[in-house]
Amino acid sequence: MSRVRSAIHVRTGEPAAGQLVAAWLARHGIATTDFPDVYETCAYLIQQGASAPDLAWVGADGLAADEIQIVDYIRDTWLGTAIIAYATSAEAPLPADGVLTRACPSSDALRQLLADSPEELLRRLRAPPSVAGPLKPAEVQDLGIRSVLNSAELAALLDEQPD
């Protein structure tokens, strides 16, 4: 399992939720770069695009509906970075869940995510979202789907950062 070493935190969410995320990052010794708004985040992505963090946390409570596009911009810049967008308000804009992207729509959901270690959180984010959970290898074979990569090759591929 890969170690989580670095993160960015776009602190545009509700302050108490942002403090929970910041405390979790500090407790686990993850080097974190904080941003107060989307503009500062975009400037950093342009200037430091080659330095991909393991995690990106985006507080959505303080974002305008069109500012949630920062999640897409982070994804376009850092393909292998896991992104968690969190909010405490039901009205906050959140992205759709996907591989390496999770929307955390409440304080309770955020607390559940923060109960995991960084490595476990990253492992969960790498699994495809689904109502029934990720398929087990035997279930994939039952569907007639043949994996091109074995699990070790897939893990190595996911751990590599783009140049």
Q: pLDDT tens digits, the chain, 163 residues: what are they?
A: 568 999 999 999 999 999 999 999 999 999 999 999 999 999 999 988 788 999 999 999 999 888 999 999 999 999 999 999 999 988 888 998 888 999 999 999 999 999 999 999 998 888 766 544 444 444 333 333 334 445 665 566 666 555 4
Residues 6+ apart with CB under 8 A from 85: 58, 59, 60, 68, 71, 94, 95, 101, 102, 103, 104
- Asked, for residue 70, whether it belongs to a domain, the answer is yes
Number of domains observed in the structure of the chain: 1
pTM value > 0.85: no
Q: Which domain holds residue 24?
A: 6-129
CATH code (residue 12): 3.40.50.2300
- Asked, for residue 143, whether it belongs to a domain, the answer is no
- Asked, for residue 135, whether it belongs to a domain, the answer is no
- Asked, for residue 33, whether it belongs to a domain, the answer is yes
- Asked, for residue 142, whether it belongs to a domain, the answer is no
